[in-house]
Structure 1
Amino acid sequence: MKYATILCLFGMLSSMGGNAQELKSVDYKDGEQKLKGMVTSNAGSTKPGVLILPAWKGIDQEAKTAALDLEKQGYIAFIADIYGVGNTPADNQAASGLSSKYKNDFKLYQSRIQAALTEMKKQGADKVAVIGYCFGGTGALEAARGGLPVEGVVCIHGGLAKAADRPNEAVKAKVLVEHPADDASVKKEDIEQLVNEMNEGKADWQIITYANSKHTFTNPESPDYNEIMAKRAWNHTLLFLQELLK
């Protein structure tokens, strides 16, 4: 009886170990810039993939949690390194300056996203979608604006504006914008201009606005966190990804 109990416990522990999730570091490059992303443990198999663009401080816990949840949903998830090795901002001021550089130089931002997409393909991803938080949400829109090879993008409390002198181009990727109603960083005109841009680009787009929500409403580590709305936004993300990738 004791022997059987030990075997049972061993089997349970083995099963738990077999299902344990972890993220692996991945070294890649954009030109001469070394980059270090992270990928889920199911990489190497052929599966639909989700590229995660993190917020302005680089790869953070919110991006990691999303990646592990996406793995449970059957996706390969890859967290992009936009800034590159040695360039992680130390504080909000540094993050503001560095993220602004990429927002202004959108071609460079698109190049970093493309580098991550190329690496994702090497990791086994076939059809790919992009999701991004905050600065990464802006990047998700840039992936769509740049015509990068993705099925669709999800902009989660991202910046919506683009330079006034940039023309509106065709947008082939499907677009979901998850916008907090009380986001002080986004002007009413930004939303109106984005709607106009999407319509002129003949995009398949939607904007979901979440009530009583400030800028970083999806991040449990933020004072803006709204648990109910964050769960709704994540469910909307999963529903959209299922439509795109399965």
Structure 2
Amino acid sequence: MKRLILSILLTGLVGHLAAQGKDISYSSQGTKLKGYLVSPENKSSKAPGVVVIHAWMGLNDFVKGSATNLAKLGYYAFAADIYGEGVRPQSPAEAGKLSGSYKGDRDLYRSRIQAAIEQLIKAGADPERIAVMGYCFGGTGALEAARANLPVKGVVSFHGGLDKRGDKQENSEISAKVLVLHGADDPFVPESQALAFREEMRSRKADWQMIYYSDAVHAFTEPAAGNNKSSGAAYNEKAAKRSWEDMKKFFQEVFAM
């Protein structure tokens, strides 16, 4: 009986350790960054990799949890640090200003994403099977990875902004498959922006999908957003679960697993 209990405890401990991640220090254009890497339990062969981009408040436990859950699905997952090591907004006003600076400089944003992709490959992910996903501000980043034709097979935006850069016209075909997971009642992404996004995808001959979730506003995947829908940002458990399942099916297609 004691051996059985010990075996159960050790099995649980191994499973727990397998899901543990580690901080990774790296840099981009001279800026120090610190991301969070979680590797799949079975690393004997090349597995696909997913970069996870945080929302406007910066790299946090929610994004690290997403990376951990992706690793449980068999992927290498790297929670990217876009802002820089130790740079974390202390208020929504500060977060808005900081995230806005990257939306205003899309080349800088894209270079930070590229640096995260390189770290993912360095960790052991198959360079031919990389994807990028992100939440809110990070969802915008995922779309930027597709727009820039970074070396990725697919991108997923969870309640992200859909607007594109205004300083340059980009007309090349988009090679990555695109999945947008969108709250049907999101007040921060007007339908005019969604319409412009769809036209952009068509004009650039992208393979794209856009799924709307009823009764969902901005930040619908994040429990920390609370449940006050009237604020424009709130957690929606049903939409959160459905969108995760839609993401899983998308990655299975993209990675052909």
Q: So what's the TM-score if we normalise by structure 1?
A: 0.95
Residue number in structure 1 paired with 2:88: 88
AA aligned to 1:36 is K
The Cα offsets for residues 127-147 of structure 1, whole Å up to 9 and x where unpaired, read as 111110000000000000111
SS at match of 1:203: coil
The reply to whether residue 193 of structure 1 matches residue 196 of structure 2 is: yes
Structure 2 equivalent of residue 226 of structure 1: 236
CA contact 1:82–1:113 (8 Å) conserved in 2: yes
CA RMSD of aligned residues (A): 1.3
**Equivalent pair of 1:110/1:139 in contact (CA under 8 Å):** yes
Aligned match of 2:217: 214
Match of 2:6 among 4, 10, 16: 10
Where structure 2 has 5 or more consecutive residues not aligned to the other structure, the ranges are: 227-233
Instruction: Check conservation: 1:43, 1:76, Cα contact below 8 A.
Output: no
Alignment of 1:21-60 (within 5 A): 21-42=19-40, 45=43, 46-60=46-60
Q: Kindly state the Cα deviation for residue 107 of structure 1 after the two structures are TM-superposed.
A: 0.1
Q: Distance in 2 between matches of 1:73 and 1:43?
A: 9
SS of aligned partner of 1:221: helix
> Is 2:145 the partner of 1:147?
no
- Cα distance per residue 1:142-167 (max 9 Å; x no partner): 00011100000001100001244532
Q: How many residue pairs get matched?
A: 242
Taking the aligned partners of 1:27 and 1:145, their CA distance within structure 2 comes to 27
Q: What SS class does the counterpart of residue 48 from structure 2 fall into?
A: strand
Query: Separation in 1 of the partners of 2:78 and 2:91?
Result: 24
Distance 2:245 2:86 in 1: 35
3-state secondary structure, aligned to 2:143: helix
Percentage identity across aligned positions? 45
Determine helix, strand or coil for the equivalent of 2:224: coil
Partner Cα distance (2:210, 2:60) in 1: 25
Q: Does structure 1 retain, via aligned residues, the 8 Å contact 2:182–2:211?
A: yes
**Deviation of 1:44 (Å):** 9.4
CA contact (8 A) 1:155 1:177 kept: yes
Equivalent-residue separation in structure 1 for 2:151 and 2:36 (angstroms): 20
Q: Which amino acid aligns with 1:237?
A: M
Residues 1:41 and 1:147: Cα distance change in structure 2 (over 3 Å): closer
Gaps of 5+ in 1: none
| Cα distance between partner residues in 2 of 1:50 and 1:119 | 11
| 8 Å Cα contact 1:44/1:123 also seen in 2 | no
| Residue pair 1:52, 1:67 contacting (<8 A) in 2 also | yes
Residues 44 and 85 of structure 1: CA distance in aligned 2, closer, same or farther (over 3 Å): farther
Per-residue Cα deviation, 1:173-200 (whole angstroms, up to 9, x for no partner): 0000011011111111111111111001
2:231: which partner in 1?
none
